[in-house]
Structure 1
């Protein structure tokens, strides 16, 4: 292949330097989307009018259509989402799977926790998700729930799921000593050939289990999944953010959407955006 002329290279570099950071990030996201084609059915679910407006605003950071396409989401699958929280991804997954597949929200069973703030938090989370489902039957009437004990998680009958998804949870499991059990539960509930999709805040390198930053080393996540029996099947940079320096005073929670920072630094962290994230696809042999 012929090398481009030096003058052309210089022009291209100058043009790239002149682009605003948001344009460069948008281009990177588009490049990442080439990992898998987004079907019209998935695009329609992402564009659904029922989605919470505040959630839609975060699409530019979470790239849901490209992320789910990379994980191989199909409309007739049984999909388990781990700790859906307020239902950000449930708003897309449950309607998408409603007619031909099955969406299962795996939530922590509050009764499995000792009385106190942790149990109360999980109960509020579970109640809030149940209300979201009940308030919009046209989208969520066929969504299912499984409540699990984080000390000995069981997510369903062995070999019953096609796809397990977890978004930004691994750091919590590592700090609480639950990561090994969770990855084993993912492996057990998946069919042979099934897929585990992981999105997680990405550290610069390995971090201790008790690290409080919210970031995890990508090699560490891969090692945890492989120890449970998974094989790495692919990685994507669709959720990468090169502007994230990962050295913030309050870890990932310094950044949007938590914005745990001094008011005077609002513009600085808004310019960075949400965290740099790994996007990994594993398969159960």
Structure 2
């Protein structure tokens, strides 16, 4: 009887701990996403589904997380506050020694954004560029690496070589059992591979293949960020759609009605 009661108590404590962890996770993400400081960026939540996406990847506020190419800091505004005090957030931004003007402007804007803002006081800034700047975090230190809508850039820049070197750097940074989360504009599988070179869309099969070549295992895929209205066949590629609206006012209502791109959401792991 005593053994049975002890087992019940242990089980109850385990359930209580799991519930507390779940509450902590939901609270951290909800608080970060609903922060008033995000007012300029929150309009895109309906297309990016940050809470659902991060939950799918298995995000926890005590993790060490690396975000690849955070750009203007859209996800930084969620990840950095959610991890602050319990976890670690690495922002692997463009290299400081890059000769590309856009990279320099983007990095300068990001540095300005995080400077003097308490939400970002614990951000660790590192560098990333395919084939050249691959030390995004200490080797084997990260629980999670996240990349949002970047694979097409590596493909268009250096074809397979660029994307593969990127995924290998993610693999190196992750702990055994760590998670790689990928969100990317999705090209229909029946389309020509040539369309990946300029459209901003890539095939889901291509992303999975590159990840596997780097050593990852596919854990799951999700349609959290899918958009069935997007045909992935537009005059200016993915940039025809919001928020870019590369055609300006021409057919703007049509493309706004479609919304942002159809996206794959893939969860990989580094094998134990």
Determine if the TM-score, normalized by the shorter chain, exceeds 0.5.
yes
Are 2:75 and 1:93 equivalent residues in the alignment? Answer: no
Q: Is the 8 A contact 1:197 1:282 kept in 2?
A: yes
How far residue 246 of structure 1 moved from its aligned partner, in angstroms, is 1.1
Number of residues paired by the alignment? 243
Q: Which residue of 1 aligns with 2:35?
A: 48
> Per-residue displacement from partner, 1:65-106 (whole Å, max 9, x unpaired)?
000111111011010000000000000000000110011100
Q: Which residue of 2 aligns with 1:219?
A: 205
The 5-angstrom pairing of residues 5-44 of structure 1 reads 39-44=26-31
Q: Which runs of 4+ in 1 moved over 2 A?
A: 148-152, 206-210
How far residue 149 of structure 1 moved from its aligned partner, in angstroms, is 4.4
Question: How far apart, CA to CA, are the structure 2 residues paired with 1:72 and 1:202?
Answer: 22
The 5-angstrom pairing of residues 142-161 of structure 1 reads 142-152=122-132, 153-161=134-142
Q: Secondary structure at the match of 1:162?
A: strand
How far residue 240 of structure 1 moved from its aligned partner, in angstroms, is 0.3
> Per-residue displacement from partner, 1:9-66 (whole Å, max 9, x unpaired)?
xxxxxxxxxxxxxxxxxxxxxxxxxxx9972221111111221x23100000000000
Q: Secondary structure at the match of 1:43?
A: helix
Structure 2 counterpart of 1:60, from 38, 41, 46: 46
Question: How far apart, CA to CA, are the structure 1 residues paired with 2:43 and 2:112?
Answer: 22
Are 2:118 and 1:131 equivalent residues in the alignment? Answer: no
The 5-angstrom pairing of residues 1-285 of structure 1 reads 39-51=26-38, 53-111=39-97, 113=98, 115=99, 118=100, 120-136=101-117, 138-152=118-132, 153-177=134-158, 178-205=162-189, 207-208=193-194, 211-285=197-271
Question: How far apart, CA to CA, are the structure 1 residues paired with 2:182 and 2:130?
Answer: 18
Q: Which residue of 2 aligns with 1:30?
A: none
Taking structure 2 as the reference length, what is the TM-score of the superposition? 0.86
Give the superposed CA RMSD: 1.6
Q: Is the 8 A contact 1:255 1:270 kept in 2?
A: yes
Question: How far apart, CA to CA, are the structure 1 residues paired with 2:137 and 2:123?
Answer: 14
Q: Is the 8 A contact 2:68 2:128 kept in 1?
A: no
Q: Which residue of 2 aligns with 1:13?
A: none
Q: Is the 8 A contact 1:158 1:190 kept in 2?
A: yes
> Per-residue displacement from partner, 1:118-151 (whole Å, max 9, x unpaired)?
2x21111111111111141x20001111123432
Question: How far apart, CA to CA, are the structure 1 residues paired with 2:166 and 2:56?
Answer: 22
Distance 1:41 1:252, change over 3 A: same
Q: Is the 8 A contact 1:174 1:209 kept in 2?
A: no
How far residue 236 of structure 1 moved from its aligned partner, in angstroms, is 0.7
Q: Secondary structure at the match of 1:200?
A: strand
